[in-house]
Structures are given as structure tokens and as C-alpha cells.
Structure 1
Amino acid sequence: MPTPRPLAIALVIALAAGLASPAGMAAKKKPASKKAATPPACTDFYAEANKGWLAANPMPSSGAISALGQLTARAQQQQRDLLDAAMSAPQNNVQKLLGDFWASGLDEASVERDGAAPVAPLLKRIDSIRKPKDIAPAIAALHHVGIPVAFHFGADIDLRDLDRHLGYFSQGGLGLPDPAYYTREDADTKALVARYADYIRKILALTGVAQKDIETQTALVLDLEKRIASLARPLVDLRDPRNTFAPVATAGLGKQYRNLQLDAFLQVQGVNDDTVSLANPAMFAQLDALVGSLKPTQWQAYLRWRVGDAMAPYLSKSWREAAFGFRGKVLLGQAEPAPRWQQTLDAINLAAGPMLGREYAAAHLPDATRRQAEAIADQVRDALVQQVAGGSLLGEAAKDEARKKLERLRIEIGTPRYDLDYTVQPMGRGSFGGNMLIASTWRHRQEMKRIGKGNANRRWDVLPQQPALAYDLAHNRLIVTAAMLQAPVLDAAMPADAQFGAFGALVGHELSHAIDGRGRHIDAKGEIRDWWSPAETGAWETLAQKVTALYAGLPYPGLTGTRVDGALTRDENIADLAGLELAHAVLVAARPDGGAQADKAFYTGWAQLWAQQVTRDEAEIRARQDVRAPGPWRANAAVMQQPAFGAAYACKAGMPMQPKPEDRVVIFN
């Protein structure tokens, strides 16, 4: 449903000085012996800059609300409006596809009539399995429609050549999120597995398994999933991408894994590359053995279950209730399912997100806004080049590498540079589940097209209709989605100086990652190597320790006796400080005569990004897990480090927002 828009970005003006007459001020003067009150901006700038928003958005009963959260909600409403228009009066073929998809999902009566019909052809294919050699083609066919079974196969970066994607064979095919759940013996895990078994029973019954066979088939499913889980590596081991990267030639896969028929699998997916990554050959050898040794009836039970589980959210009510009862309530702790429109929108974004993104950008990203965003991003990049060149953090060789890397950095605004092939089987309005399979097959095919040489940078891993602004380390590019270019980040209604403080500082935050402690591991040519010297690494660590100490001394808003975790939030805090530094340098260059009023608008633009209301329970979770500082400190801690802020608001030494010069932390200046 629609959500209230954040208040427009406004200048913070010292009204007393502008409105009071000299005579009136003289009449109201306090005795000289009394200490003058600290201006609100010098006490808590976050609260002063966001007082209108905070008054209009009281604390929720649970969770949190924020200005950026409202931006996300607004983007969702814009997607709904776009889909409504496409449903009633499509203007092109893509809109016709989207409109039919949307209409089929909203028509709950039609979804009920459709029942299990969308998955009937898939179940018939599974029922036709008679012997072990029939299993691998069924696995490949399910992957082709976007239902991964037995293992996972997807496109990801080739760590030897960042300009290409490889196909990655990796562990997967389980219904529980962690392989360890299948082997743990504690009471809580056993209870969870018991609930999971109940869910399997419900789905198998809905797929047509006779009641007399439910227990047997449920046991077969659990047995096969336990076997697969026993071959998997712990999730913590997969956090390092190097542990999942093991390139092998595709030519020998068919002979090496005869039962899985991985050569034929790749052909079905449309992949003809000469190399794939297969990091756990022992697991695939065991899977291959299971295909040859287990009875086909066990594989049939497992595959029926995986199809039913994957498609349950898009079928009739009994399917959806079974899925939500376990995945929503048990795994996610949700009390109620999302409204129907939200479920349908999520499905469209999952299966046809790039289609919707194309139309969203055309409708909601004016050319003028795109050009302004590109201009600001270019200016921030130039400022980073200049500050690194003039700073003492890096030596001459590293400065030269940083300059080359930033000069080669690409800035992509709104949508990916390369469009997709939108040739899709027509979608009618009578089968939401059928449309989901059509769209999912198209999306899978587009993902498979990523695999090969020279095309890795053609895709984004975020959709244009999802608010995001990020530095892509692997491809040395800044990505700004169409949905991000709205208030409070950037829109035409914002004062130009506030645009630098909001959008410009966010760009600076992200671009700093190109040459920071993370960016140092990929050089200007896109090769993986550390281009810092030990001395530069030591200097960075010294700086990082100062930032850690700065934030570790700050009380966590809404919690008594808790402070910000300076170590957990260190890297993002450094980027905040750097981003505001860079954006202010751009402001000064663009508005050399702007003075205090320009600075006030600039800092207000920054602070209004972080407006939020967070309940105590939510704050306790974030204090332990969030890698970013809480909103009030993202706003205040960064501006406190800049002398221009104190000058703009006439903050004097000793006031809360005016630290001593020697206590300030500077990143690149």
C-alpha cells in the first residue's frame, strides 16, 4: 500500500538571526553572566536536521522505519502502478507480458481453479522415470525451468579472468537452509526436522501421492536429502569464494560423471563453454553413485517433493498455506503471509525482474536526473583522484595504481548498459503458476547466457527497480539503480547543494572501496593482486584503529549501557567518513562562493539520508549484527570530523558536535 513520502530536503536556517530586529534582540538579551544556549545543530545535528521527519513518523510498534526504507516502499508502489497500467493498457510487448503476469497473480479465483495444473507436466515427466539413466535428464529439465535439484548450477565470476563468467557446479538441492540441520542431534534441530517432515507430507499429498504411500515417500525424501547433506561442506567454508572456485575442462565431464551426464546437462542449459568450476568433485562423484545405486522410485519421490516445494507459493491456497506454515512461520518467524499484491510482485521480480526493470527505468528515471547523477559521480571520482594524489596515505607507486584504476572505473546509472533478449513464450491471464514457469525458464536462460568470455560486466546482480548504489569490485564500476534516484538521495526538487551531501556522499562512500583495504586486492587491469606495500597496509590499519576507537566510544541509540561495535562497523564507517570528505570537496569546487548556506544544505542532505525510528528489540539485533553504524551516528559522526560543519553552524569548541581538531579523523584529506 502507499506509504507517506519523506519530507523534502530543506535548508536549516538560523531563523533567529534573520527574523529578529536588533531592537528586539537587545530587549531580550540575557544577563552577560549566563552561558548562552548551545544551538540545536551543535548539540545533535541528526535530530535537528530530521525533526520534521521524526515528528511525522513516530516509533512503530515493532521493527523500524526509515527514510531509505520509505524510498524502497515508494519504489514498490511505483512498480504496482506500472503493472496496473500494463494490465489495462500495455504500450509494448514487454508490458503485455508483465500485465498478463500481474493479472494472473492477482486473480485468486483463477489461481484456485488452476490448482496443481501448472506442475502437472513436470510431475508427469518425473513419473516417467523407469531406470537410472532417466534420472539425469529429469534433473537437467528441472534446472532448465529454474528449479535446481540435487545440486546448484549458476553463473559467477571467473577468478582467473574477471571479464568472464563461469558456470559453477556447487552444492544445493536441499529443502533446509543449512546442511548441518540434517545431522545435528540437539532437541531444537530435531523438532525443526520433524516440522519439516510434516511439510514434506503435505506437499507430497498435494502432488498426488496416495495417502497410504505418504510415510514411505516422506522417508525416502528425507533419506536422500540426508545423503546429499552429508556430502556438503559447512556453510562457513563457502564464505571465501576461493573455496568454491576450481576450474575444470567440460570435455571430460560426461565420462567422469556418467550417471549424472553432466555434459548433456550443460547442453540442456544452453552452455557450451570449455570450462566450468567444480569445487567439490568428491560430492559429485557420490551424487553420481547415488543416481546409479538408489532405486528410481526414491529419486522420483525426491524430485516430486522439490517441484512441489519450489512451486507451492504460486499455486492454489492449500499449496500456499502448506508452504507458509513451514517456510514463513517456522523458518522466518512470520505471523501472517504478505498481501496478495506483494506475493505477486515478489514473484515477478524473481522470475521476470529485468523485464520490469526495463519498464520501470523508462517510466521513473528522467534523462535530466540521469545526467545529473552522472555529473556528480564523475566529480566525486575526480575529487578522489586529487585527494589520493595529494595525500600521504599511499606511496607513489600505489598512488599511480589508484589513479589508473579510478580513471578506468565505469559509472553505470539507471539500468545495465546491455539490454536482454525479451523473446518469451506468451503469457496468458489464466495460469499464474504457468506464467511463473515461463518467466523462470526465460530468466534461467538469460543467466546461462552470462557464461562465457567477455560478457561478465553486461549484467547487474541488482534490479533497476530496487534502490541500490554500490561499487562492483570485480568489474571496477559504480552501479546506481533507477529506483535509487529519488528523495532523499537525488531528485530535481532537492537543492543542488543537498544533492552533493546526499547522493554525492553516497557515491564517495562506494568509490572509496575501489582503493581501500578491500579494493587494494584488485588492480587497475582487473588482476587479483595486492598493490599496496607493507608500509601502506600498516598506515591503513593505524587509521582503521582510530576509526574503530572513535565509533566504539559512541552510545547505541535506544539502548542503555550499549555502545556501537566499532570493529564490526569499521569498514563502513571509514567509507562514510571518506564519502563525506569527497562530496564536500566537490561542493567547494562547484560552489566556491557558496559559504555557510551551501554547507548547511550539504550537511542537511547527508543527515536526512539516515532518518529512522528503531524499536528497542530491533536495536538490540542491529547492535549485534549490523555492519553499519546506527542512523544518528552515521549522520553525526561524519559531520563532526569536518571543520566546515562547525563554521557553518557557528559551533564552538566544547559543544557536542565540535570535537577538538586533534581528535578529528581524516581519511584522504
Structure 2
Amino acid sequence: MPTVRPLSLALALGLVTVLSSTDAEAARKRSSARAPAVSAACTDFYETSNADWLKANPVPQVGATTTLGQLANNTRNQQLQLLDRAMNAPQGNVQKLLGDFWASGLDEAAVEADGSKPIAPLLTRINAIRKAKDIPASIAALHQVGIPVAFNFAPDVDLKALDRHIGYFMQGGMGLPDPAFYTRTDADTVALMGRYRGYVKQVLALTGTPANKLDAESALVIQLETELARSAQSVADINNPFNNYAPVATRDLNSRYRNLQLDAFLKAQGVNDDLVSLADAALFQQLNGMITRLPAEQWKAYLRWRVGDAMAPYLSKAYRDAEFEFRGRVLRGLTIAPARNEAVLDAINVAAGPMLGHEYANTYISRDVRRQAGVMVDQVREAQIAAVKRSTWLSAEAKTEAEAKLAAMKIEIGTPLRDLDYTVQPMGRGSFGGNMLIASTWRHAQEMKRIGKGNADRRWDVLPQQPAIAYDIAQNRLIVTAAALQGPIFAEAATPAEKFGAFGGLVAHEVSRAIDAKGAMIDARGELRSWWTPADKSAWTLLGNRVAAQYGGYAFPGVKDAKVNGELTRDENLADISGVEIAWEAFSTSPQGTAASAADKQAFFKGWAGLWAQQLSPNEAVQRLASDVRAPGRWRTNAPLSNLPAFGASFSCKPGQPMQRTDAEQIRIWR
């Protein structure tokens, strides 16, 4: 039951890239025929550097195989091993809690015997509804246990005071991901709605609806959700943070929405702030009317359905099978349900992810690795500050603000520096569904504690056990998760040069976000204002146009006659070029870099290239061409390096060769 966050201000590192070995072979033949004297490294460094990996990982029939995807899989295996050890021989109280939670989920016989018992108290409360005045309290009680019904309410950044979170009231409470599903009349949508109605009936039957009332109650549920959908914004609109921001005083809520009892709702969630955001007043006016206009029996059927649907993955087989057949097969296109241990791991990460994350970091990442990473991050930041000072396109006033913002940037490595309590209690080996409700209730309460002044930097929006390097634009904060401090990003046995190329390049990619076109919307004091001059904006646009044109000339691997979408990938490509420039400068000016051998310098670039090895199925390649905001792996490797003279010098590439652009063609961002 994940928390729905209304804004998307934290910019996370993406771990997906694309390659086709067939295209790689063709490119090798063409290059060989065109210029046989050019070395392999100067022709296609991506393929040369990743040759062994590409040979060992053929193109899959479906989906993608990538080096960073393999890292993500490895971190999941580490979590599975940690939980097994915690179950069998726990070290300390946190591991005892985790081990008991894990054991309760793996005991399928106990889960089957439990049936609907974990949600019985919730269903009893819902069935006790008699009048309209009983409905708001039941809505509030379900939100308390992490089951959002009727609408969504979650913390996020106050756009006028970025040092605080406020609560956002937003549309929600529908069982389908897109409100348009409820109103479209095309054949595919009609068929989908038929499958959806069947799933609703299955869950209603499991939660107590008699067989002779299933058709009627499922119709009531879908009718209620359709009414919500008709007043909802589109998915595109709801994903725009500024569309969701409309602060109102909490003291005014009851007079506007008396039937919903929103003041009592906030008290039930433990929220005492003076402001909330409620951007869609019309939707909440409609909801306010629905409380009294719709029969209590209709609300009861809807609430029982939402409880059963939310908890289905954690209950007996009948629930799990029904949920997977619709949400797994129909909505997500899956063919096989995940293995039991994988499903339980996902559940624990949803409900108790921070607790597992702290134990993961303590188990797999040493203090020395964190220290090394911190030193390297500081070196990268200093290199970026130096690059800002000598920039030829940034105005003097923008340079001053950029330097101040970079100096003020918070660095958090491994686990959050400030965090709310992350230990879920109590637990035990009895009921997995019961444990999920306990954990979900705890997690919701912790999320509500993020609301208020001075709380905005508590906790991350990514878990420590998930590989990520991210720039949190709202908090001017660089986040490096514990899981990212492993190969191929930060292999403990790697040389400093390799670490600068891989880890340093990714860090520099994200640090540049603080002072790019989006970063320039928030100043060093955390205020939402544009601090670039018109000339700065024009210079950045011209740089971006050159980058888009350069990448737009590259063939898209795996898709015949297709080119990379330079406009779609513009921002990530700018950050990649920035990342390589700044990481190379940080390495060159470091103690290790000043004494670097020719082999060390080459190792730097191999570290960068090793991040992007990938094989993509034909269908996946077509999808990525249309939607991926990142360039294919070959060009994430080759394009930034071909713009950097230091690469050519390290491998004796001549200007005009594929891996070394002429001086006039080179794109310079910070050098």
C-alpha cells in the first residue's frame, strides 16, 4: 500500500539503457571498411570496453539486460539473504523484527489458514455504517492504516516554503490507474472494464457479499468510482506539481466541506499543521455531496472492495490469484506471478522499507566505503564550483548564486542523515496480513510526521537498498544510497581512476542538476525563483540545441532506420556531458590523478563505459525509442567521450575519428 506522493521534485538516477548486438556487429564492419587504420577504442569505445559483457549477455527475447539492472538484481539477492539470516539467527532487535516479519510471509500455510482474518476488524467497522455521518470516520480510519479511499492525502514540499512539507488533498480512491478508463467507450476500454468488473466481484465475494448481490454491489462500486473519475484531472495534469498546489488554512476546511469532516480527518492522521493544499475544490465539493447523496450501502460496498483490493497481495491464495489475474496479467502484462520470497520482499519494502534499508546499509556497506565516497563527492563538487567560476557563458550574478548553491548542497551517503523512526513494532511470526497492516499503519503515521515546519528533509524518497544517486531539487540535496556503493558504480576493489569514471561521473551528472535550467528555478536559500538572466537562459538553450542535434544524428541500436530522439533525451544528454567533464577534472586534480599513469587515465573512461552496457529485446528497443528520456547505452558512453579532448589524448585518437570530434564540433558545457 505505497504512499501516493503528489509531486515529483526528487530527480533520481535512472538505471535503464539500450543496446543491440546485431547493430554493434554492423557498426564494426562499417567502421572497419571505412577506416581500417583507426584503433578499436577510437572507433567504438562502448563496444570495445564492454566486449566481454556483451558476449556473455546476449540480446534477450523480452525486456532488457543491463549492467545497472544486474546491480539492482544483486541488491535484491542481498536483501533476501539478509532476511533469511535475520529469520534464522537475528543479530539485535531490528533483525529480530525483520526476521519475524519475513517468516510470517514465507509461511504460506499460515497465510492460507488466516484467510480474511487480518482485515476482519476493518470489514466489521465498515459493515457497522448506518448513516451518512458514519462514512467520513470510516474513510479516515482506512487512511490511518495506509489504505487511501475516496481521495489521496500525502505529504510533500510546500512550493512557497521548501523547508517544510504540507499535506496535499488530491484525487484518488479509484481502482484503475487512469480516470479515462471509466469514461472511454472504445472496444479495448470496454473489454478492460468488463475484466475489472469481474475482479471487483471476486473481491466483494471474498469480503462478504452474498452471491445473489454480487452483480448489484459491483455495479454500485464502479458507479461510485466513475463519479470520482468524471471529476478527476487527467494523468498528465495531475503529474504537474503546480496544478496540485493551492494552500488553504485548515481551519477553513469544515465550513467548505462539512459532510467530509476534514478537520476530524486530519486529527485522525495526527496532522496539526495550519496549512494544507487542496487544488481541486470542485472535486471535493462533489465528494462532500456524495457523502449524503449516495446510499450508505453503496459506500459500504465501495469501502469493502477497496480494503480487499489493497490487501489482496498479502492475504490467502484466493485473494492473491484474483489480484494477479487482473493487476498482474491485464494491467501490467505479466505472465507468471512472482516467487513467494520475491513477493514478500516487495511487501516488506513497501511497508517497512526504511527499517530494512538501515539494516541493509549496516550489513553490506562499510564505514570506509562511505568515507571514500564522501571524499570523492566533495572533490566532484569542488570541481563543479571551479568550472562555474571560469564559465564563459554564465553571467556574473548567476555564477555567484551557483557557487553559493553548490557550497550549500547537502550530501547524504548510505542512509538518510535525518530520519523519522524506522523500526516497526510490534511484530511476530503469526499473521502476515496482520503484520502488513501493523507496518502500513506505522508507515502512514511516519509519513504524516513529515508534515510541518522543519521536517522537509526527513527521509528520502528512495530506499537505501535501492541503487540510486539522485539530486533532490527541493532540498538541494545529493543522495547516494547504500546499494549504489557497489560494482559497477563503486566496486571496493576498483582503482581510484575507475571509481572516478563510474561513481564520479554519476555524481557529477546529478550535481550539475543543481545549476542547470531546472536547478536555476530554486536559489541557494531554497526559495522558488529563477536566478538565471535572459542571457544565461539563451546560452543554455543554444547548448541544448547543439546537444539535441548531435545525438539526433546517432542511429538507435535495435530499431532499423531510427535515430535517437535528441529532443526527448536533451536534458539527460546535457547532464551526461557535464558529468564526464566534471568527473575528469575532479580526477585530474586529485592526488591520485596528478600521479596517474596512462593506464589509470584509460581506466577512468572504462569505468564510465562499464555503466552503460546493455542488451535490449526488439520490442523493448521500439518502446524506449518512443519514451525513454535517456540515450541508448552506446551513446551514453561514446557521445560524451567524443566531446572530451582528454579521451582522445588517452587513447591516441585523432580529431575527426569517430571517438574524437574536431575542436569545432565539440560541445563544451563546463570546460
Identify the residue that residue 660 of structure 1 maps to in structure 2: 662
> What CA distance in whole angstroms lies between the structure 1 residues aligned with 2:187 and 2:54?
44
Letter in 2 for 1:546: R
Alignment of 1:378-457 (within 5 A): 378-422=378-422, 424-457=424-457
Identify the residue that residue 614 of structure 1 maps to in structure 2: 616
Moved more, 71-80 or 250-259: 250-259
Identify the residue that residue 357 of structure 1 maps to in structure 2: 357
Is 1:581 the counterpart of 2:581? The answer is yes
> What CA distance in whole angstroms lies between the structure 2 residues aligned with 1:452 and 1:554?
48
Identify the residue that residue 498 of structure 2 maps to in structure 1: 498
Identify the residue that residue 600 of structure 1 maps to in structure 2: 602
> What CA distance in whole angstroms lies between the structure 2 residues aligned with 1:212 and 1:568?
53
Identify the residue that residue 88 of structure 2 maps to in structure 1: 88
Give the number of the structure whose alpha-carbon radius of gyration is greater.
Answer: 1
* Number of residue pairs the alignment of both structures matches: 636
Identify the residue that residue 22 of structure 1 maps to in structure 2: none
Are residues 424 and 659 of structure 1, via their aligned partners in 2, closer, same or farther at CA, if it must alter by over 3 Å? closer
Decide whether the 8 Å contact of 1:42 with 1:657 is kept in 2: yes
Letter in 1 for 2:614: Q
Decide whether the 8 Å contact of 2:420 with 2:458 is kept in 1: no
> What CA distance in whole angstroms lies between the structure 2 residues aligned with 1:652 and 1:328?
52
Decide whether the 8 Å contact of 1:369 with 1:491 is kept in 2: no
Give 1:98 shift: 1.0
Is 1:69 the counterpart of 2:64? The answer is no
Give 1:578 shift: 0.3
Is 1:196 the counterpart of 2:196? The answer is yes
SS in 1 for 2:165: strand
Is 1:227 the counterpart of 2:246? The answer is no
> What CA distance in whole angstroms lies between the structure 2 residues aligned with 1:279 and 1:456?
20
Q: Which runs of 5+ in 1 are unaligned?
A: 1-33
Give 1:95 shift: 1.4
Identify the residue that residue 13 of structure 1 maps to in structure 2: none
Decide whether the 8 Å contact of 1:393 with 1:668 is kept in 2: no
Identify the residue that residue 549 of structure 2 maps to in structure 1: 549
Letter in 2 for 1:311: M
- For residues 174-212 of structure 1, what are the alpha-carbon distances to aligned partners after superposition, in whole Å with 9 as ceiling and x for unaligned? 001111111111111111111100100110001111001
> What CA distance in whole angstroms lies between the structure 2 residues aligned with 1:654 and 1:392?
25
Q: Which runs of 5+ in 2 are unaligned?
A: 1-33
Identify the residue that residue 114 of structure 1 maps to in structure 2: 114
> What CA distance in whole angstroms lies between the structure 2 residues aligned with 1:36 and 1:558?
25
Decide whether the 8 Å contact of 1:116 with 1:207 is kept in 2: yes
SS in 1 for 2:527: coil
Give 1:35 shift: 8.4
Decide whether the 8 Å contact of 1:163 with 1:475 is kept in 2: yes
> What CA distance in whole angstroms lies between the structure 2 residues aligned with 1:227 and 1:35?
66
Decide whether the 8 Å contact of 1:145 with 1:444 is kept in 2: yes
Identify the residue that residue 641 of structure 1 maps to in structure 2: 643
Is 1:623 the counterpart of 2:625? The answer is yes
Give 1:330 shift: 0.7
Letter in 2 for 1:360: Y
> What CA distance in whole angstroms lies between the structure 2 residues aligned with 1:120 and 1:281?
34
Percent of aligned pairs with the same residue?
58
Decide whether the 8 Å contact of 2:376 with 2:500 is kept in 1: yes
Give 1:107 shift: 1.1
The CA RMSD over aligned residues, in Å, is 1.2
Are residues 374 and 174 of structure 1, via their aligned partners in 2, closer, same or farther at CA, if it must alter by over 3 Å? same
Decide whether the 8 Å contact of 2:354 with 2:422 is kept in 1: no
TM-score between both structures, scaled by the size of structure 2: 0.93
- For residues 573-599 of structure 1, what are the alpha-carbon distances to aligned partners after superposition, in whole Å with 9 as ceiling and x for unaligned? 000000000000011101223242221
- For residues 44-98 of structure 1, what are the alpha-carbon distances to aligned partners after superposition, in whole Å with 9 as ceiling and x for unaligned? 1111111121122222222111110010001001100110111112222221221
Decide whether the 8 Å contact of 1:380 with 1:582 is kept in 2: yes
- For residues 465-511 of structure 1, what are the alpha-carbon distances to aligned partners after superposition, in whole Å with 9 as ceiling and x for unaligned? 00010111101010000000100000221111010000001011001
Decide whether the 8 Å contact of 1:596 with 1:647 is kept in 2: no
SS in 2 for 1:167: strand
Identify the residue that residue 248 of structure 2 maps to in structure 1: 248
> What CA distance in whole angstroms lies between the structure 2 residues aligned with 1:431 and 1:35?
68
> What CA distance in whole angstroms lies between the structure 1 residues aligned with 2:36 and 2:561?
31
Give 1:662 shift: 1.1
> What CA distance in whole angstroms lies between the structure 2 residues aligned with 1:260 and 1:553?
56
- For residues 375-419 of structure 1, what are the alpha-carbon distances to aligned partners after superposition, in whole Å with 9 as ceiling and x for unaligned? 111111111111111011211101000011011001100000123
Letter in 1 for 2:81: D
Letter in 1 for 2:552: A
Are residues 35 and 76 of structure 1, via their aligned partners in 2, closer, same or farther at CA, if it must alter by over 3 Å? closer
